[in-house]
Amino acid sequence: METLEYFLPQVWFGILALFLFLYVMLDGFDLGVGILSLTSSTEERRGILMTSLSNIWDANETWLVLMGGGLFGAFPLAYSTILSALYIPIILMVFGFIFRAVAFEFREQATRKFVWNLSFGIGSFMAALGQGFALGAVLKGIQVDEAGHFIGGTWDWLSWQTILVALTLIQGYVLIGSTYLVWKTTDELQTTHYRTAKIAAWTTLIGAIFITISTPIFYESAREKLFQEPLIYIFAIIPIAGVVLIWQLLSSLNRKEERAPFIWTILLFVLTFIGLALVVFPYIIPTRITIYEASADPSSLVIMIIFIGFLIPVMLFYNLYQYIVFRGKITTEHYGEG
Amino acid sequence: MDFVSDTVVLSRMQFALTASIHMLWPTLTTGVGIYLVIIEGLWLKTRNTDYYYHARFWAKLYALNFGVGVATGIPMEFQFGTNWAPFSEATGNFFGSVIGFEASWAFMLEAAFLGIMLFGWERVNPAIHYLSTILVAIGANLSTVWILTANSWMQSPAGGEMVDGKFIVHDYFQAIANPFMAKSVLHMFLATLETSLFVIGGISAWYILKQRHTGFFAKSFKIALAATIAIAPLQIYAGHLSAEQVYHYQPAKLAAMEAQWNTIPAGQSASWSLLALPNNLTEQNDWELAIPNGLGYILELKEKLTEPVLGLKEWEPQDRPRLVGLIYYAFRTMVGIGFLLAGLMAGTVLFWLLGKLSEENITQQRWLMWVWMFAAPLGFVAIDTGWIVRCVGRQPWTLYNQIRTVDSASHIPPSNVLVSLTAFTITYLLLLVAYMYFGSRIIRRGPRFDLLIPGTDPNKPAIKTAPGEFVSDERPVEAQQ
């Protein structure tokens, strides 16, 4: 029983990390494309951008809903403390989602598309910004009492570190969005996004360097952890591997490859994610509450493995199937009854 | 204006506002989803192209509806954490898991196959397309099942107990199959279906009135009408079952629904109040119009009650719902609409039997079509008033008799909630306006009859000029592009 009480929260930490990663990767390019749409020069281009997402944005976003539901059920304390502590960034993200989601159908129907173009672009930006602040604040640490209840202030989430994380996350989304568009579009549009991908690769790199350097300097808890054996070796490898991946990414962009840049970017996301997960683990509210303290009853965790965990392969299958059905380049600016 | 400094009241207002406006869209996604399954089935079976164009036309409205439904639904999931943190922490063991089940069982299924249903006509073969339509409908309705399971458990918590302020589950399946669950799921399922059918009927009636594509829309009108023959009376019965379970498990709510302040002992006859002015301060109705013996017949089909009906005064004021008038009138509105829609169904069926709905005659039934048009929004009113009865009547509890609403809200500054509440109010109202504007635009433009029938590619003429060179393409449709 003792081992089970350790094992089950770890399994759920893993499952939630998987959901969050799938979300960041899939909705990452979604939001990135949305932010990039603000720079589109013509209605036609913007139409193609939105068509490239029309059938998948909703499923992509569902991974976050799934992650939210999973967190609620598996770590109720973390769900309630983190969400109420980050009221403003979460609400910002939620409104971003609203503006973005309605833009798809409303823009398609509207004759004057200006409002919905803004709604789509700014909504995507707001959602990414809210997520960046939330991520930054969780990494920085949330003020809680011994029972794990929030005792900090409303604006605790706002600091130069969280601004740095938010900006870097937005760059990362723009990067993966650009490489997705390189894959899915042709001609001039593709050329444009070869360029935006390159710019975003550099800005992401700069942001990542700042975060990597500032984390051990400013966070005592992270410093202790980072310089522990054997983790120090892993944390030494991650930045090196990151630089290698960015170099690979940039050279694939220079060679005008179509699919490789997207794949290198995904690997970059995987690497970052492993790094973050190792910094956070075993905490769920860094650095005060561990996954063991915040977890639901073991029986709940078991039931959830049966009702949610076993469905993961099925969900992955029908997501993948959808991508297969809609494979190929996007050339039309209308979805639905084009 | 005391409420602007009260986080609990503001959070309640925010949840009530977002939930009651959000509810309008999933109602159609679940109900019209089933309709689309029927229509596409008819198309595949009869190969009558009318059904194909019907499937495309209603799917277009469906897509608009779905987008707004997702947009307004996402805040619901996050609000449990942002505004109701203590509740979420205490009930996470069960309530949180169920919210997770909804995402994994329902949302992902719906989201993944919706794309294929809407945009995949040319990309997958008919069987896969039909399967996608079915899976979208199943996904939407599984959502109803899980959300109603979660809410029913709040009404009648089962399968465990509160230990140190947290709900510990002893038996998961008992918690899922809590006393309210089955009847509530049925009542809500029928509500979404009935509302959707009257919306489809009402829109079809508009075209018939305008004499646009009369034959085409007479088809959808009759399909909707035929389905309501079973659904409308069944819903009244399901509503009765729901009221009975309130009578057994939540007598304080029943007392509020009936504005019954004093207990009626067993063996007495009880009148059913038709209209009243409930007064919280004097604990009585200032004025009342009642039907003698009515309540006895409604609850037990007898003139005299065998069990007492408890009055509101049996509970201390802090232990019973406060907004008695709201609950009382919301209940009467819902019930009234239920009977009105069933009556409309019965009357229209009579017309049908008399042959007045045939293609030549249907355009002459102008007032009947007008009634159907005005009946289209009534289902939504019934659903929202029903939820008011259910959730305002549950007060002062979030988890019935276990956790109070005042102890459930997050300890956050009221100013935060006031700002988000204002933003939600403006945004949701704007969305409602934009949705109706674009929805009516799609309706005014009407169905498109120039859409390609799947499998008939205009780029490949059926007969080639030189017969000798013709090689038939026997690969599956997807591979032919």
Domain ranges for chain B: 2-252+324-424
pLDDT at B474: 46
Averaged pLDDT of chain B: 87
Proportion of chain B above pLDDT 90, given as a percent: 48
On the question of pLDDT at B473 being above 60, the answer is no
- Domain at A15-331, CATH from 3.40.50.300, 1.20.1250.20, 1.20.1630.10, 1.10.3720.10: 1.20.1630.10
Low-confidence spans in chain A with pLDDT less than 70: 1-2, 220-221, 333-338
Question: How far is the alpha carbon of B334 from chain A, nearest alpha carbon, in Å?
Answer: 30
Put simply, the answer to whether B89 touches A311 (Cβ < 8 Å) is no
What residues form DSSP beta bridges with B273?
A: B290
pLDDT at B291: 79
ipTM rounded to 2 decimals: 0.87
pLDDT at B457: 61
Select the residue from B8, B93, B430 to test the A interface by mutation, using most A Cβ atoms within 10 A: B93
Question: How far is the alpha carbon of B292 from chain A, nearest alpha carbon, in Å?
Answer: 50
Question: How far is the alpha carbon of B172 from chain A, nearest alpha carbon, in Å?
Answer: 8
On the question of pLDDT at B478 being above 70, the answer is no
- The mean per-residue pLDDT over the stretch B32-43 comes to 93
pLDDT at A153: 85
pLDDT at A337: 53
- The mean per-residue pLDDT over the stretch B419-444 comes to 93
- The mean per-residue pLDDT over the stretch B444-471 comes to 61
| Contacts of residue B186, Cβ cutoff 8 Å, sequence gap at least 6 | B238, B241
Chain A CB contacts of B82 under 8 Å are 83-84, 87, 90-91
B141 within 8 A of B132, measured Cβ to Cβ: no
Select the residue from B56, B84, B94, B104 to test the A interface by mutation, using most A Cβ atoms within 10 A: B104
Query: Does B88 contact chain A (CB < 8 Å)?
Result: yes
pLDDT at A219: 72
Of the pLDDT bands very low, low, confident and very high (cuts 50, 70, 90), residue B460 is very low
pLDDT digits (tens, 9 = 90+) for A1-35: 567 778 889 899 999 999 999 999 999 999 999 99
Query: Does A147 contact chain B (CB < 8 Å)?
Result: no
Put simply, the answer to whether B97 touches A303 (Cβ < 8 Å) is yes
Put simply, the answer to whether B88 touches A150 (Cβ < 8 Å) is no
Question: How far is the alpha carbon of B77 from chain A, nearest alpha carbon, in Å?
Answer: 7
Of the pLDDT bands very low, low, confident and very high (cuts 50, 70, 90), residue B459 is low
Neighbours of B406 (CB within 10 A): 13
- The mean per-residue pLDDT over the stretch B356-360 comes to 78
Task: Give the 3-state DSSP-derived string for chain B, with helices as H, strands as E and coil as C.
Answer: CHHHHCHHHHHHHHHHHHHHHHCHHHHHHHHHHHHHHHHHHHHHHHCCHHHHHHHHHHHHHHHHHHHHHHHHHHHHHHHHHHCCHHHHHHHHHHHHHHHHHHHHHHHHHHHHHHHHHHHCCCCCCHHHHHHHHHHHHHHHHHHHHHHHHHHHHHHCCCCEEEECCEEEECCHHHHHCCCCHHHHHHHHHHHHHHHHHHHHHHHHHHHHHHCCCHHHHHHHHHHHHHHHHHHHHHHHHHHHHHHHHHHHHCHHHHHHHCCCCCCECCCCECCEEEEEEEECCCCEEEEEEEECCHHHHHHHCCCECCCCECCHHHCCHHHCCCCHHHHHHHHHHHHHHHHHHHHHHHHHHHHHHCCCCCCCCHHHCHHHHHHHHHHCCHHHHHHHHHHHHHHHCCCCEEECCCEEHHHCCCCCCHHHHHHHHHHHHHHHHHHHHHHHHHHHHHHHHCCCCCCCCCCCCCCCCCCCCCHHHCCCCCCCHHHHC
pLDDT digits (tens, 9 = 90+) for B214-252: 888 988 999 999 999 999 999 999 999 998 899 889 999
Query: Does A44 contact chain B (CB < 8 Å)?
Result: no
Q: Residue B151's closest CA among B332, B397, B409?
A: B397
